[in-house]
Amino acid sequence: MPAPRPHDLLFTHRPDAFTADGVRPDWLDPRAPLVVRRAATPPGIVPAGARGLQRNERCKGHLALDAVASIVTPRMLAARAQAATGDLPCIAALRALAPRLDLLGVDWGPTGGAGYWLACGLPVLRATSDLDLLVRLPRRPAAGVLAALAALQDGQPCRIDIQLDTGAGGFALAEHARGGRVLLKTDAGPRLVDDPWEAA
């Protein structure tokens, strides 16, 4: 099994393995995956977050790596995007954008509520839900690729939030497109950097 990376979804074969400050949330559905988050942890421990069906049901915690039964990556969810059914704006946008993202030849996938829904089917999406997308770019792409990614956000039926992941950290495409320094989220915490690809 590959090492979990931020934004991957984890299914566990031990429902009690995830805890937040030593306590398992009583609202957490045993069918629900956990999302890998950014944080420094000892070997064998994965920083993870849990979500329930309501917006106020979110928490951060940890999971032992040996409790992970399977990993679902955003890239794996991208393969399900065009077959996704439903008339919610975020799902309609996902279906429309999937072929355009594939043509760019980047490692991409849905995260957030849309990714969670594709992975487990639990009803977490609403008519007002954003579409969160992750694009993994371990090397600096051509300027045309970043411009094409930014253009995907125009004319969609919902707000699109695209996060770029360099492998050393993640940042918002919209923030990078404005110019200047960007907030790079890393395992050691957020950092303001001039160049996210040089920051490692």
What is the Cα–Cα distance from 48 to 52, expressed in whole angstroms?
14
Domain definitions of the chain by residue range = 9-72, 74-193
Question: Within the chain, what is the greatest distance between any pair of CA atoms?
Answer: 47
Query: Annotated catalytic sites, by residue?
Result: 130, 132
Whether residue 185 is predicted with pLDDT greater than 70 in this model: the reply is yes
Percent of the chain predicted with pLDDT > 90: 84
Instruction: Place 72 in a pLDDT band, splitting at 50, 70 and 90.
Output: very high
Question: Average pLDDT in the 57-63 region?
Answer: 94
Whether residue 1 is predicted with pLDDT greater than 80 in this model: the reply is no
What is the Cα–Cα distance from 9 to 72, expressed in whole angstroms?
5
List, for residues 8-26, the tens digit of each pLDDT value. 999 998 878 998 988 889 9
Average pLDDT of every residue of the chain? 94
199 φ/ψ angles, rounded to the nearest 5 degrees: -65, -25
List, for residues 151-163, the tens digit of each pLDDT value. 998 999 999 999 9
Among 71, 89, 19, which Cα is nearest to 48's? 19
From the number of C-beta atoms within 10 Å of its C-beta (0-12, 13-18, 19+), residue 3 rates as exposed
In this predicted structure, what is the pLDDT of residue 2? Answer: 84
In this predicted structure, what is the pLDDT of residue 200? Answer: 65
List, for residues 106-144, the tens digit of each pLDDT value. 999 999 999 999 999 999 999 999 999 999 999 999 989
Question: Average pLDDT in the 145-151 region?
Answer: 96
